[in-house]
A = this chain, B = another copy of it.
Amino acid sequence: MPQPLTATQALARLDRGDLSAEALSQACLDRASSREPQVKAWSHLDPDLVRAQARAVDAEGRTGPLSGVPIGIKDVILTRDMPTQHNSPLYLGSHPQIDAACVSLLRTAGAVIFGKTDTVEFAATGRKALTRNPHDLLRTPGGSSSGSAAAVADGHVPLALGTQTGGSIIRPASYCGVYGFKPTWGLVSREGVKPFAPSLDTVGWFARSAEDIALLFDVFDPHPPPRLAPTFDMAGARIGLCRSPAWTQAEASVQAMIAGVTERLAAAGAFVEDLNLPPLFDDLLQTHLVVMRMEARAAFLAEYRRHGDDLHPELRGYVRACDGLTADDLRAAYDAAAAARVVFDDLAETYDAILTPSAVGVAPLGLEQTGSFAFNGLWTLLHVPALNVPAGSDANGLPLGITLTGPRFSDRRILAAAAVLGPRLIGARVE
């Protein structure tokens, strides 16, 4: 296939007038339709609706920062003109005529809402997406934002929205070899997004370049941009390498990737140091699970009361408190997480960027599971921004990813670092 355009590249051509929004959307539709039988990224895609939106942009003129750019929407996010089915039989054909706040922001910015991407049931657990990893159709694309990651990786759309409560953006981005960003918790409104664990749930997005990730950040950031945009200089940069409590689970390919990245950055003039987390972080993966499972009880109580045994057994297990967790456990988890956030921000503040693996290895074989999120839950719990940067591939050509993180609200610093580090990590823009 010809290299598909990134959003930034497409916008430049749209601005110059040598590409119409309709032609761009049609190219995306063509690519999606040729690949969908294999990749199965979409739970809903209506070509006529896509073309109508694109033609409206061409007719009305480009007024927003994303005018004419197609974007996929994870199917746990409400869209007024498309069904929202959560990959749950309970919501088959469900179609509330309302946009989530994040979709409304995209529409105001001029984006073409392209379709709904397949997801793990309720972005939580239960049924897996039908989506396959475009790099190897026998492998999972990761989850729960499976369709969004695969659609971007496979060139159907330049951008897609996802959500993360455990590792649902970073992991599929890593497995599919694309950029995936989970901003600081709370930065993007969750209005109209199916809750799973509200003190963890975060709306984020996928793209094929660091610039595209930053482009969407400007659409969603609710705070005034800084007078001086942050910059990142490789020469003399202080980079923390955080192996995190999950390091013992890292496979050889990930260990080799981290060693290689460290070497390349050092060769380019950066100071790469080990960032060792203090002992209070050792239990935070368990803390994350406690918050996720306990908050899920409230999130799925209405479905459980209404549908009983028709709710997937795994979700039913959450609501029925099969884990035996108590409110005291949740309170302790909240307090441990809050204390760790303060400590991590202090530690992280001294680095220009922090690197950590995005996954324990490449995408595993099979679609019945979506891989481990051992390397992701900590950052979700800490509320910090996390960006997957594609970092080459293993011996079989399967993507590996590295996470760039930092203190809460350092989103723009991370994006500035990624613009420089991204190309250095793999030596070229990811395809």
Which residues on A are within 8 Å of B, measured CB to CB? 78, 96-98, 101-102, 104-105, 107-109, 184, 186-191, 194-195, 198-199, 220, 222-224, 295, 297-299, 301-302, 305-306, 319, 321, 326-328, 330-331, 334-335, 338-339, 341-342, 345, 408-409
Contact = CB atoms under 8 A, between A and B. Distances in A.
A328 B222 contact: no
A321 B226 CA distance: 12
A86 to B, nearest CB: 12
A104 B302 contact: yes
B408 A331 contact: yes
Contact of A305 (B105, B299, B319): B105
Nearest to A184: B327
Contact of A101 (B101, B301, B335): B301
A330 B345 CA distance: 13
B186 A302 contact: no
Contact of A96 (B96, B109, B189, B321): B96
B186 A222 contact: no
Nearest to A64: B305
Contact of A299 (B105, B191, B224, B321): B191
A89 to B, nearest CB: 17
Contacts of A305: 104-105, 108-109
Q: Please tell me how many copies of the chain the complex holds.
A: 2
A195 B190 contact: yes
Contact of A331 (B98, B109, B345): B345
Q: Interface centre among A96, A301, A319, A342, by most B CB within 10 Å?
A: A301
B341 A335 contact: yes
Contact of A335 (B186, B298, B326, B342): B342
A327 B223 contact: yes
Given A186-B199, A408-B331, A409-B331, A222 B298 contact: yes
A186 B295 contact: yes
Contacts of A321: 223-224
Contact of A222 (B107, B319, B338): B319
Contacts of A78: 98
A301 B224 contact: no
A280 to B, nearest CB: 14
Given A223-B321, A224-B321, A409-B327, A101 B302 contact: yes
Given A97-B97, A331-B409, A339-B338, A301 B190 contact: no
A329 to B, nearest CB: 10
A188 B298 contact: yes
Contacts of A108: 302, 305-306
